[in-house]
């Protein structure tokens, strides 16, 4: 690691403090006289969202950005189960960052998909930490291979959008160590990201930006992270405590507010200046690691002349690899070459190809499903079928039904619209829009051969598949497939490529089956993670609950045989498992084989099985390939909260290799020497999970904690929001109304909660703690006015008014 002590010794205290916060929304501060350049950052992770100068104040994707390749979002890319493809995608993004003068891409996101309703799930890879960590490491390696930087996010336990600025995630230590943190750990250890972004929320009572246990003990000391910690935009809660915890770079600028506080703290002895120097050292190192140099930069730029064409082809390849064939009754797919097709559904013409919010990019080009089908079909008949807004339209419905009657097969394009899932707020339901379901029912009555093409970044309920008479013969889920998703879908429908994607998350039969459903129905600022490690398939498998589609599931146009599992002991807890996969069909295809470890020691509570290795083989008809899986101590270990270390329990284990978590093809029993199995003294629920655990269960693994009491008049402070105070404060209601009017100005003057951008801004503004609002709107929320608002909300209006008008 470089040492910058000579440079740091030449900087004044004020200069050092200033370097530790942004110059604006996207850049760090430059000190040209000291030879310290600025660093430019932009949102990712599936494309560059580099704002133009005029729109540089937009941190939420409201305005257009410079055109870039819009790759499939994380939910789609993860379903390819292909680390090489993710590395290739990262390198492509690094190329575009180089072209655009971007030093660091803000991604990838590896938060676990605790619940299907999290509005930002489309931006995260998986419900499984092993899969997410391996894919993130590959993506980071690709980006950083060109000298660009990355920011692994959002650290940690950031699993909801509602109240994300202030929610307190109460998570037991085993759940953190075994489930919510390992994806970050893998990415840090294997790919050495230049930075890690700390999240908005609290973890066990402490904001992530102030959390020394997370940022110093775990991230740096346990995992050996040697980069800089950057705050999520507006997540710096207490800058003095942040320096102590190891939060190095505050983004964006607090417009000098925190700088003055920090300077006074150093001068008074409250804060050790050495801690400022420590962060300055890390930021200077970050600047060096994210700055391609001289001749090498010129060489790299020289190969970018055909960049966007190459990247469009790559985006199409990833979209096809990440699409998941969920049903294919009577082998209705692939369609015969040169077939005429009837396409119904507005999303076929106006595709939903990415999520809403800060990751939304302006695609360099965009092709819809109709464009893609023209490459293969003899003719394409299209009917809109429904409005994107969930409103009935009898005329559109009638036109669609008439077209469906005359068609041999119908390609029906349905999915989640923007308002159904977005950054800034959580989903309200797992259902598809009502007008789309109405169309599906009507078309199914007049045509027995419906091919359903789906778009969306999270699972949704599909009760229509339970009807034995349902006309849906095939379901192809494209997820959020990026700018080339339309052509990629056509490649799959007509068999130019065989589907090989597999779900990176479980699809429940119904939302009520999700173990954390009760919390997300009515989220509070205190998020009790009562289910501990039992999330996704880790819950469904041990509880024996039926699911719509299991984790790791995906069909193909060909078939694969698994054979010859051989397990070799390589020393200690190391094992090497080999098996052969053969393409037994008549079509080229790819298979993602998954290895799960099932512990049978009878000691610590744990899931029935956990993914510990995977590999993907691309095979011609009749071709075989040997697959190899490497296991180590962590493949078998649990976190021992007493020893504060990983422990392997003595006893029996089973290796399970399969095509999904519920399609196991080969098994091998192992007996391991280790620590004596220790049954935990906890509620019975954790040994036999079934339904939602109660608080009385949770305290046996977490410890006692007080019930959450919503704030009320007399108890409000800077951690509370306008939304919380408006029920008991006229002034807060007036401010909230002013927010609505101000935000509505950018929405045609209408306060429209069915508009995704309006709803996102209102939710974030209304739910942001006063401490954050004060930083983003110092003109409106000055210190004096904020104190007046708090006094008013706490029942001391005239005292607050007197202080406010006093000079």
Summarize pLDDT for 484-494 with one digit per residue, the tens.
999 999 999 99
∠ Cα 204 210 211 (to 5°): 45
Find all residues with CB under 8 Å of 521, minimum gap 6, and list them: none
Tell me phi and psi for residue 302, to 5 degrees: -65, -25
**What does the pLDDT read at residue 806?**
84
CA distance to 235, 489, 712, per residue, from 368 (Å): 37, 9, 50
**What does the pLDDT read at residue 62?**
54
CA atoms within 13 A on the CB side of 140: 29
Neighbours of 523 (CB within 10 A): 17
Cα gap 195→28, rounded to integer Å: 14
CB-based contact 243:279 (threshold 8 Å):
yes
CB-based contact 456:352 (threshold 8 Å):
yes
**What does the pLDDT read at residue 55?**
44
Cα gap 515→691, rounded to integer Å: 6
Number of H helices, E strands in the chain: 26, 26
CB-based contact 159:169 (threshold 8 Å):
yes
**What does the pLDDT read at residue 61?**
52
Pairing, β 472-477 against β 450-455: parallel
More confidently predicted of 806 and 410:
410
Tell me phi and psi for residue 598, to 5 degrees: -115, 120
More confidently predicted of 338 and 321:
321
Of the candidates 680, 714, 793, 745, the one whose C-alpha atom is nearest the C-alpha of residue 172 is 680
Homologous superfamily in CATH for domain 560-678: Immunoglobulins (2.60.40.10)
Instruction: State yes or no: pLDDT of 778 exceeds 80.
Output: no
CB-based contact 340:49 (threshold 8 Å):
no
∠ Cα 68 455 110 (to 5°): 65
**Region label for 314, one of left (φ > 0), alpha (ψ between -120 and 50) or beta (otherwise):** alpha
Q: Which residues of 561-598 are buried (b: 16+ CB within 10 A; e: fewer)?
A: ebeebeeeeeeebebebebebbbebebbbbbbbbbbbb
Instruction: State yes or no: pLDDT of 188 exceeds 80.
Output: yes
pLDDT > 90: what percent of the chain?
83
Mean pLDDT estimate for the chain:
93
CB-based contact 39:102 (threshold 8 Å):
no
**51-65 pLDDT tens trace:** 865 445 555 555 678
pLDDT band at 316, cuts 50/70/90?
very high
**612-666 pLDDT tens trace:** 999 999 999 999 999 999 999 999 999 999 999 999 999 999 999 999 999 999 9
Instruction: State yes or no: pLDDT of 471 exceeds 80.
Output: yes
Of the candidates 123, 583, 129, 74, the one whose C-alpha atom is nearest the C-alpha of residue 318 is 74
Cα gap 581→593, rounded to integer Å: 8
- Tell me if the domain spanning 312-503 has CATH number 3.40.50.1700: yes
Instruction: State yes or no: pLDDT of 271 exceeds 50.
Output: yes
Q: How confident is the model over 388-405, as a mean pLDDT?
A: 97
pLDDT band at 524, cuts 50/70/90?
confident
Q: Which residues are catalytic?
A: 232
**What does the pLDDT read at residue 301?**
57
Of the candidates 59, 104, 96, the one whose C-alpha atom is nearest the C-alpha of residue 249 is 104
Max Cα distance, the chain (Å): 85
Neighbours of 728 (CB within 10 A): 17
Q: Could you tell me where the beta strands, DSSP code E, fall in 300-378?
A: 324-328, 340-344
pLDDT > 70: what percent of the chain?
96
DSSP-derived secondary structure for 463-524: GGGG-TT--EEEEEE--S--TTHHHHHHHHHTTSS------SS-EESSGGGSTTHHHHHS--
Neighbours of 767 (CB within 10 A): 22
∠ Cα 49 51 52 (to 5°): 145
Q: Calculate helix-pair angle for 783-793, 730-745, nearest 10 degrees.
A: 130
Of the candidates 127, 61, 155, 70, the one whose C-alpha atom is nearest the C-alpha of residue 503 is 127
More confidently predicted of 781 and 120:
120
pLDDT band at 784, cuts 50/70/90?
confident
pLDDT band at 501, cuts 50/70/90?
very high
**126-162 pLDDT tens trace:** 999 999 999 999 999 999 999 999 999 999 999 999 9
**What does the pLDDT read at residue 54?**
41
- Measured in whole angstroms, the distance separating CA 189 from the mean position of its chain's CA atoms is 20
Helix then strand then coil, % of the chain, to nearest 5: 35, 20, 45
Partners of residue 475 on adjacent β-strands: 327, 452
Q: Which residues of 123-154 are buried (b: 16+ CB within 10 A; e: fewer)?
A: bbbbbbbbbbbbbbbbbbbbbbebbbbbbbbb
**What does the pLDDT read at residue 65?**
84
Cα gap 757→70, rounded to integer Å: 20
Instruction: State yes or no: pLDDT of 33 exceeds 70.
Output: yes
CB-based contact 204:146 (threshold 8 Å):
no
Helix (H) / strand (E) element for 137: namely helix 129-144
- Cis amide prior to 156 (ω within 30 degrees): yes
CA distance to 419, 436, 459, 700, per residue, from 388 (Å): 10, 9, 19, 47
Cα gap 722→789, rounded to integer Å: 9
Tell me phi and psi for residue 257, to 5 degrees: -60, -55
Cα gap 70→351, rounded to integer Å: 13
- Measured in whole angstroms, the distance separating CA 513 from the mean position of its chain's CA atoms is 22
Q: How confident is the model over 658-683, as a mean pLDDT?
A: 96
**Range of weakest confidence among 228-237, 271-280, 588-597, 782-791:** 782-791
CB-based contact 417:356 (threshold 8 Å):
no
Query: Model's pTM, two decimal places?
Result: 0.96
Find all residues with CB under 8 Å of 261, minimum gap 6, and list them: 239, 240
Cα gap 741→749, rounded to integer Å: 7
**What does the pLDDT read at residue 134?**
98
More confidently predicted of 224 and 66:
224
Of the candidates 500, 666, 502, 484, the one whose C-alpha atom is nearest the C-alpha of residue 587 is 500
**What does the pLDDT read at residue 304?**
61
**Range of weakest confidence among 297-306, 400-409, 783-792:** 297-306
∠ Cα 23 27 33 (to 5°): 65
Q: Could you tell me where the beta strands, DSSP code E, fall in 304-339?
A: 324-328
Instruction: State yes or no: pLDDT of 759 exceeds 60.
Output: yes
SS3 of 639, please?
A: strand
DSSP-derived secondary structure for 289-338: HT---HHHHHHHHHTTTTHHHHHHHHHHHHHHHH-EEEEEGGG--SPPTT
Cα gap 664→608, rounded to integer Å: 13
Instruction: State yes or no: pLDDT of 177 exceeds 60.
Output: yes
DSSP-derived secondary structure for 401-446: HHHHHT-SSEEEEEE--GGGSBTTB--S-SSPPHHHHHHHHHHHHH
More confidently predicted of 549 and 776:
549
| Domain extents in the chain | 5-298, 312-503, 560-678, 722-805
CATH number of this structure's domain 5-298, picked from the four choices 3.40.50.2300, 3.20.20.300, 3.40.190.10, 1.10.3720.10: 3.20.20.300
- Cis amide prior to 429 (ω within 30 degrees): no
CB-based contact 659:594 (threshold 8 Å):
yes
């Amino acid at each position: 690691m470089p040492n910058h002590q000579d440079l740091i010794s030449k900087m004044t205290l004020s200069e050092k403090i200033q370097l530790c916060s942004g110059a604006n929304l996207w850049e760090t501060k430059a000190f040209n006289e000291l030879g310290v350049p600025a660093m430019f950052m932009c949102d990712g992770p599936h494309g560059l969202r580099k704002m133009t100068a005029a729109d540089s104040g937009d941190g939420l994707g409201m305005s257009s950005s410079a055109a870039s390749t819009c790759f499939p979002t994380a939910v789609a890319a993860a379903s390819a189960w292909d680390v090489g493809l993710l590395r290739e995608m990262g390198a492509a993004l690094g190329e575009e960052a180089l072209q655009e003068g971007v030093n660091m891409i803000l991604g990838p996101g590896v938060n676990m998909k605790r619940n299907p309703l999290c509005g930002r799930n489309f931006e995260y890879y998986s419900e499984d930490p092993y899969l997410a960590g391996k894919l993130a490491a590959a993506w980071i390696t690709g980006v950083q291979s060109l000298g660009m930087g990355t920011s692994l996010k959002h650290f940690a336990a950031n699993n909801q959008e509602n109240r994300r600025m202030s929610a307190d995630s109460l998570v037991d230590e085993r759940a953190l160590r075994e489930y919510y943190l390992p994806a970050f750990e893998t990415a840090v250890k294997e790919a050495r990201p230049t930075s890690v972004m700390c999240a908005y929320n609290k973890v066990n009572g402490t904001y992530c930006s102030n959390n020394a246990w997370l940022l110093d003990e775990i991230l740096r000391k346990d995992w050996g992270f040697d980069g800089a910690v950057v705050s999520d935009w507006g997540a710096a809660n207490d800058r003095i405590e942040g320096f102590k915890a190891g939060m190095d770079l505050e983004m964006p600028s607090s417009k000098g507010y925190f700088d003055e506080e920090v300077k006074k703290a150093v001068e008074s002895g409250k804060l050790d200046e050495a801690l400022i120097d420590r962060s300055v050292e890390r930021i200077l190192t970050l600047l060096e690691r994210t700055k391609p140099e001289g001749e090498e930069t010129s060489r790299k730029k020289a190969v970018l002349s055909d960049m966007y064409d190459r990247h469009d082809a790559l985006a199409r390849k990833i979209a096809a690899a990440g699409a998941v064939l969920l049903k294919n009754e009577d082998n209705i797919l692939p369609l015969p070459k040169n077939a005429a097709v009837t396409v119904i559904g507005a999303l076929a013409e106006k595709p939903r190809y990415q999520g809403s919010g800060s990751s939304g990019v302006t695609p360099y080009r965009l092709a819809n499903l109709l464009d893609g089908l023209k490459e293969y079909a003899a003719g394409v008949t299209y009917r809109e079928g429904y409005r994107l807004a969930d409103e009935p339209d009898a005329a559109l419905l009638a036109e669609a039904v008439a077209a469906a009657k005359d068609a041999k097969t119908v390609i029906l394009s349905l999915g989640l619209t923007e308002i159904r899932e977005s950054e800034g707020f959580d989903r309200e339901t797992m259902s598809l829009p009502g007008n789309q379901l109405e169309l599906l029912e009507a078309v199914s009555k007049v045509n027995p051969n419906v091919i359903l093409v789906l778009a969306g970044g999270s699972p949704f309920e599909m009760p229509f598949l339970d009807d034995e008479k349902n006309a849906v013969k095939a379901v192809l889920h494209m997820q959020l497939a990026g700018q080339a998703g339309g052509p990629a879908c056509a490649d799959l429908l007509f068999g130019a490529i065989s589907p090989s994607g597999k779900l990176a998350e479980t699809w429940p039969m119904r939302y009520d089956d999700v173990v954390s459903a009760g919390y997300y129905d009515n989220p509070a600022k205190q998020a009790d993670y009562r289910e501990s490690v039992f999330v996704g398939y880790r819950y469904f498998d041990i509880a024996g609950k039926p699911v719509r589609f299991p984790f790791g599931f995906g069909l193909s146009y060909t078939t694969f045989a698994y054979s010859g599992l051989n397990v070799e002991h390589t020393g200690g807890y190391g094992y090497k498992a080999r098996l052969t996969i053969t393409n037994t069909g008549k079509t080229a295809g790819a298979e993602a084989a998954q290895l799960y470890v099932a512990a049978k020691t009878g000691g610590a509570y744990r899931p029935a099985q956990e993914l510990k290795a995977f590999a993907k083989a691309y095979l011609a008809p009749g071709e075989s390939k040997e697959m190899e899986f490497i296991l180590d101590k962590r493949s078998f270990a649990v976190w021992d909260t007493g020893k504060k270390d990983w422990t392997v329990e003595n006893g029996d284990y089973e290796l399970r290799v399969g095509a999904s978590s519920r399609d196991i093809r080969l098994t091998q029993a192992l007996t391991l020497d280790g620590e004596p199995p220790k049954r935990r003294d906890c509620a019975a629920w954790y040994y036999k999970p079934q339904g939602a655990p109660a608080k009385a269960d949770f305290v046996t693994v977490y410890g006692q904690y007080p019930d959450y009491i919503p704030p009320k008049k007399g108890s409000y402070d800077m951690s509370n929001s306008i939304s919380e105070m408006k029920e008991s404060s006229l002034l807060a209601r007036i401010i909230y109304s002013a927010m609505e009017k101000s935000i509505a100005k950018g929405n045609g003057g209408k306060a429209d909660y069915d508009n995704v951008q309006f709803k996102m801004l209102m939710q974030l503004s209304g739910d942001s703690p006063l401490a954050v609002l004060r930083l983003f709107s110092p003109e409106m929320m000055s210190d004096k006015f904020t104190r007046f608002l708090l006094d008013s909300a706490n029942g001391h209006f005239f005292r607050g008014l007197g202080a406010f008008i006093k000079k």
